[in-house]
Amino acid sequence: MARSTAILLKKYREWLVCQRYSDTTLRTYDKIANQFIEFWGKPALTKVRPSNIQDFLLSLAYRDLSADVVRRNLWGLRSFFDFLCLRGLVGGSAPRYIRPRPEPKATPRALSKENARRLIAATTNDRDRALLEMYYATGCRVSELAGVRLEDVDFANRMLWIRGKYGKSRRVFFGPAASRYLKKYLKNRDEGFLFENRNPVQKGHVRWDGYIWVGYWRDYTDPRRTRYKNKSLGKGPSNEKEAWELFRQLVPNPDEGHLRCRPHGLARATISDIFRRAAHRARLGKVTAHNLRHSFAVHTLDNGADIRHVQELLGHANVATTHRYASAVSFPTAKAYKRFHPRAGGRHGH
């Protein structure tokens, strides 16, 4: 890549930061700009025409990418060419002349109240239980709750401050159940991220390999290189408890030399994995944090909340976005069905 092109892309990344895009959008748009530059090659960007944008999008479609991914690439190209126009490097934004097919607005998938309880109950440790309780209680986006620090939490009023899209702040609330599990997880910790990824002390593990007991651990004593090690425990131990006792005698400190990393907030991938494992144990199929956000909105509206209040809690800039959840509210529709359908067992049923 030419030096001038590398400088241009660097300036574009800086411009995206100034536009206050989320980290995920920033990385996506930066990647799209790099892919288009590689696709376009050496000709000047002033020569890009709408037909060239179509050729680029078609080259992506040949890789069996979904319509959503193609749209995302088009939005990224529009952002990149808007930046080029502002700097006077191109005379017009070629991607603006491309109109994708209308994106169907799917009704948000929400869990039933019973399934939401099953999902949360399927967690196996205090952190994961508190995390799912808080997502369901607050309706936060994935990145919002992951970025909350303890100084943003008011336990007395069961409230926390959220920094949402484009730097906007709002208050959200949580109930006694979420508060109880959160305090149990925190154990009097009063600083740092609300949910942290800490480097646990390594204890190693033991296993019967079919012939003998073996102890395994990761060796950190050489600062230049981490090594996986194992130690034969023989056939002497008659059960796992005795194998652990022997392993602790032979390897008193498996964690020796391990430098503790500074605690940091949970990554999106870690949160996704927590949801995936809980959903698998609860036998609910694929469930994401956004499904719990939908569930929060639908269940709150279902219980009679005003849509403007739900809009404020969700951090929607436009109430029309919140109205999408209103279409998913089950109670009025179910009530009408049971009352009027001849086979539903209502007053008109047979």
Residue 320 predicted with pLDDT over 70: yes
Q: What residues have CB less than 8 Å from 20, skipping those under 6 apart? A: 166, 167
pLDDT-derived band at 274, boundaries 50, 70, 90: very high
List, in order, residues 6 or more apart from 345 with CB less than 8 Å away: 338
The Cα 87–Cα 16 span in angstroms is 14
> Sorting pLDDT into bands at 50, 70 and 90, what band is 186?
very high
| pLDDT (tens digit per residue) in 205-236 | 999 988 899 999 989 888 788 888 999 999 99
pLDDT band, very low/low/confident/very high, at 322 (cuts 50, 70, 90): confident
pLDDT digits (tens, 9 = 90+) for 54-85: 999 888 877 767 777 888 899 999 999 999 99
Q: What is the pLDDT of residue 13?
A: 93
| pLDDT value of position 337 | 60
Q: Report the alpha-carbon distance of residue 55 to residue 244 in Å, rounded.
A: 62
pLDDT value, residue 76: 93
Tens digit of each residue's pLDDT (9 = 90 or more) over 92-147: 899 999 888 777 666 668 899 999 999 999 999 999 999 999 999 999 999 899 88
pLDDT value at residue 332: 59
pLDDT at 331 over 70: no
Distance CA 280, CA 273 (A): 10
Q: Tell me, what's the pLDDT at 344?
A: 59
Q: What is the share, in percent, of the chain residues with pLDDT greater than 90?
A: 48
3-state secondary structure the chain: CCHHHHHHHHHHHHHHHHCCCCHHHHHHHHHHHHHHHHHHCCCCHHHCCHHHHHHHHHHHHCCCCCHHHHHHHHHHHHHHHHHHHHCCCCCCCHHHHCCCCCCCCCCCCCCCHHHHHHHHHCCCCHHHHHHHHHHHHHCCCHHHHHCCEHHHEECCCCEEEEECHHHCEEEEECCHHHHHHHHHHHCCCCCCECCEECCCCCCCEEEECCCCEEEEEEECCCCCCCEEEEEEEECCCCCHHHHHHHHHHHCCCCCCCCCCCCCEECCHHHHHHHHHHHHHHHCCCCCCHHHHHHHHHHHHHHCCCCHHHHHHHHCCCCHHHHHHHHCCCCHHHHHHHHHHCCCCCCCCCC
Asked whether residue 279 carries a pLDDT value surpassing 80, the answer given is: yes
For residue 212, what are the contacts with CB-CB under 8 A and spacing of at least 6? 232, 233, 234, 235
Task: Please tell me the predicted confidence (pLDDT) of residue 105.
Answer: 66
The per-residue pLDDT for 268 is: 86
What are the structural domains of the chain? 3-97 (1.10.150.130), 113-197+264-334 (1.10.443.10), 205-250 (no CATH)
Give all strands of the β-sheet with 227-234 in edge-to-edge order: 205-208, 213-219, 227-234
Q: How confident is the prediction for the chain on average, in pLDDT?
A: 86
How confident is the model at residue 321, as a pLDDT? 79
| Rounded distance between C-alpha atoms, residue 135 and residue 317, angstroms | 20
pLDDT band at 336 (very low <50, low <70, confident <90, very high): low
**Residue 306 pLDDT > 50, yes or no?**
yes
pLDDT (average), residues 171-192: 92
